[in-house]
Structure 1
Amino acid sequence: MFPFLFPKTTAYGYRKHRKSVVGEIPGRKLYGLFLVDIERSAKKIAVFVDSDSGMTFQKCQQLSRYLEGIFDEKNWFGDDYILELSSPGITRPLRFARQYVKNIGRWISVETTDGSMYKGMLSDADEEKITVKWEEIKKEGKKKIKEEKVLILEYNQIKEAKIQIKI
């Protein structure tokens, strides 16, 4: 999944078992967690996870302890590493259909593969596509008319999408 993030000296063990390490998280309290991204710098391993039911401090804490135990036992990163575990937050792009589904009803910005930019409310999402709605105001003479716009995008048309805070 992310073999290029780990040095060749330690990557083999991790690559061989990565799906079972993050995929088979024990305990019903952690049900529904899924891996979003992993970033690695010199000594820091940042793991971003999300949950269909929302992330909590307790879920992050339990998963962090679980992963530290495995990393220490397997010695994939040596003794001197820093594990940071968190939810992706609103600054990170959405990567999986289940993240879109979880965020239905929230405001989103979408950049398409053709370079177009859209901002609106994520009104629907499934395994194949998303629907974004917004209003545009048009002038007809002295009147302002609100017109609802609807955009349906398949995931392969999305270059990047992020949740937006609407104030």
Structure 2
Amino acid sequence: MSIPNIRSVVEDMVNPYLEEHQFELVDVEYVKEGSSWFLRVYVDKDGGIDIEDCGRVSEYLSQKLDENDPITDAYFLEVSSPGAERPLKKAKDFMKSIGKHVYVTTYEPIDGNKEFEGTLVSFDEATVVVRVGKKEHELPYDKVASARLAIIF
């Protein structure tokens, strides 16, 4: 099974539990590091997620994965919070982050840059507007390579 299919199958397995408990699925990764495969599931909820929440999601998902066995390789399952520098993957992530400090990279230079760190001013599903200093940069959403919340030090 391909990596995108594994992500999709895992999302379908875990989403009913997450919805029932009012958790949010932030991301699913299936990656090889060294000789080991890792299935990482990032979850969150209003007010933040704790270790007990992650443990319950892990137990539920582990049972579902054992029952259905969609992954042929040996792997490690990790369920965790997305952390303070949470990735912005979906349109709703961008909408919820308006007014927050973000770090955005693009596939190609825009206004001479591929990296933008500043305040997320607006998002309309076609354009991400980030204010860096006094200048606002309009980034086409389809040109965004990655985006995450950023901590100001």
Asked whether 1:70 is paired with 2:64, we answer yes
Q: Structure 2 length as normaliser, TM-score?
A: 0.71
Q: Show CA shifts across 1:60-119 (max 9, x none).
A: 2221111011112223457x6431111333567432222222333322222222232222
Q: Answer yes or no: is the 8 Å Cα contact 2:25–2:42 preserved in 1.
A: yes
AA aligned to 1:154 is: P
Unaligned 5+ runs, structure 2: none
Q: Does 1:47 align with 2:33?
A: no
Q: Distance in 2 between matches of 1:100 and 1:17?
A: 25
The equivalent of 1:82 in structure 2 is 76
Alignment check: 8 A CA contact 2:126 2:140 kept? yes
- The CA distance in 2 between the partners of 1:163 and 1:133, in whole Å, is 14
2:55 pairs with 1:61: yes
The 5-angstrom pairing of residues 1-167 of structure 1 reads 3-5=1-3, 17-25=9-17, 28-29=20-21, 31-41=22-32, 44-51=37-44, 53=46, 55-57=48-50, 58-77=52-71, 81-90=75-84, 93-115=87-109, 116=113, 117-135=115-133, 148-167=134-153
Name stretches of at least 5 consecutive residues in structure 1 with no aligned partner.
Answer: 136-147
Instruction: Tell me the number of residue pairs that the alignment of Structure 1 and Structure 2 aligns.
Output: 146
Contact 1:49–1:88 (CA under 8 A) maintained in structure 2: yes
After superposition, the CA RMSD in angstroms is 3.3
> Once the 2 structures are TM-superposed, how far is the Cα of residue 56 of structure 1 from its aligned partner?
0.5
Quick one: distance in 1 between partners of 2:18 and 2:148? 30
Amino acid at match of 1:5: I
